[in-house]
Amino acid sequence: MSETTKMNDIAHHAADRPQGVDWVRLQSWFVVSCGLIFLLVGLAKIASFVDGADVLKAIDPIFKVQIGSLLLSVGLMECAVASFCLKNRHGSGSLGLIAWVALLLFVYRVGVAVVGWERPCSCLGSLTRVLGSSEGTGNRIALGLLAYLLSGSCLFIYAKRHAPSLKPNRNEE
């Protein structure tokens, strides 16, 4: 490839880039927001375990363990993910971790639906009770957060790998 062709290719991709969008800063903001979501939801799950409600003694339909034990384990994992995201907001490893955990949560939700589990999801832990919202509202909030985590992380991963017009300029990094 000649030098002129390379320069034209670079200029073409720069012209395709939406003006005024700082993708590095946007990705950083997204990762931090995901870290805060994981932290809030993880702490709510841990608080639910400490609270010791009777519903926590029920057996989870997928993992066949008490829901309380599952909430504690997932809450601790979400806090660890939050810590990683908040410390590594510029790294693509954070995006991969967010996508992986969100995909695991999505697969779990699909599994629960497939086995016909009728109980509301305790994904937000005690947060729905603290906010004074119904279990149905809490379920919709949890699904919205899951959609945000999964779609946002996949979008940024895709942009970094396949869409030159969405990649940051080398000068912007």
- Lowest-confidence range among 41-50, 126-135, 160-169? 160-169
133: tokens are 């919202």
Q: Where are the domains of the chain?
A: 23-167
pLDDT per position as a tens digit, 45-92? 898 888 877 778 889 999 999 989 999 999 999 999 999 999 998 877
| Whole-number pLDDT of residue 31 | 96
Q: What confidence score (pLDDT) does residue 173 get?
A: 44
The residue behind tokens 């002129």 is 4
Contact predicate 47/78, CB 8 Å: no
Q: Which of 18-22, 45-49, 132-136 has the highest mean pLDDT?
A: 45-49
pTM of the predicted protein model: 0.79
pLDDT computed for residue 90 by the predictor: 81
The stretch 153-158 carries a mean pLDDT of 91
Query: Residue 66's beta-bridge partner residues?
Result: 59
CB-based burial label for 150 (10 Å; 0-12, 13-18, 19+)? middle
